[in-house]
Structure 1
């Protein structure tokens, strides 16, 4: 389902599936599963939209992420699983709220904005498998053309998810998530021309908010 929504709306895969995979596999393994699946999905959709990518902007976001992700991965290993659940769930909830209200700020523009968005994206990816919200808000605040946002963020996702996996380690291979991903990609290609992304966006954010809340409660109790 998450891959279908990503194909239709251009966003939402990790935001939607991260709470549930973390719930099933635990905070450490769940994040690894999300990051690997996201990496594959980034590559699939980037191959379809490569012409609109802004290489320079992707690199400006990616460089700070590449430097910070290994340090953060080492630091997060010191936390207990329950603490990581609360961190991942809280990040999911905040991301859903900010995207729902279309948060936009001039502080996210320029080189300083790219640096901040790249670092925040790396932190959110290591903790909760969510590299997208921070850089999506940067792209909107920087007024990128709509046709460039999706391919550029897919390119960024390939880089940040790769370095995150190298930092966290490889996940245990599970058949069901991969089967779901493949079916979702096919479904996304079929449904994308038929469904408006604006119709499905509220569903993405609502489910992400609920899932994030559930993970926080699980970590607390």
Structure 2
């Protein structure tokens, strides 16, 4: 867990900056990249809470220019289902020990990333029923472990969405599901200085990510995000196993 003082707060801001940069660059990835590290630094509850707050903000930033392209037909059932399972994720996370939650989070992140990387086709994740299923899984994972994006990505893969269709809808969903998660468990307890540095990390990451998005092709950018997320998931799993 991060110790107090400027050093620890700067580390948090750096992690948030990297996560915000990759999400702004590729449209996904803040929670996958940053949440496992934040949990290691802050502990499970505080780390997931900060991931929810920062991911919600960077999703809102990314949505500004693309809200007209949101596919509401899929997003409405997904958001409704997520709203039902977010409290369940909060309840489960509150009853797990720190090492158990780290192991669970590491397994979820690693498995989800591998599924997304494989381009897995799941017939159940199609149409309105598929949107409900993806939203239910995503809401639970988001509130329990801070990583709700993979279920939405899998739905998009099975629906045959292009990146242009996926990104604004994912940002729209990210704003709402993270708002649900924050409402269910509150914000993390950080110092004023830490919050200011986290805000600066989000702002800088948004600028850097936009700059990278204009220069890095979509395919390589997405692979970078998923490889970083895979490394974070495996590291979190190992920390949980060693701490058990």
TM-score by length of 1: 0.94
Q: Could you say which residue in structure 1 is the equivalent of 2:65?
A: 48
Q: 1:217 & 1:40 partners in 2: Cα distance?
A: 29
Q: Deviations over 1:9-30 (max 9, x none)?
A: 1111111111111110111110
Say whether the 8 Å CA contact 1:54–1:152 is kept in structure 2: yes
Number of residue pairs the alignment of both structures matches: 221
Q: Could you say which residue in structure 2 is the equivalent of 1:10?
A: 27
Q: Could you say which residue in structure 1 is the equivalent of 2:238?
A: 217
Structure 1 residue corresponding to 2:219, chosen from 162, 187, 198: 198
Q: Deviations over 1:91-149 (max 9, x none)?
A: 11111111111112222102221111011101111221111110111022112344221
Deviates more, 1:32-41 or 1:118-127: 118-127
TM-score by length of 2: 0.86
Question: SS at 1:171's partner residue?
Answer: coil
Q: Can you give the 5+ residue segments of structure 1 that lack an aligned partner in the other structure?
A: none
Q: Deviations over 1:178-206 (max 9, x none)?
A: 32221110111222111112112222222
Question: SS at 1:108's partner residue?
Answer: coil
Deviates more, 1:201-210 or 1:92-101: 201-210
Q: Deviations over 1:141-191 (max 9, x none)?
A: 112344221111111111111011111221123344332221110111222
TM-align CA RMSD = 1.4
Q: Can you give the 5+ residue segments of structure 2 that lack an aligned partner in the other structure?
A: 1-17
Q: 1:212 & 1:146 partners in 2: Cα distance?
A: 24
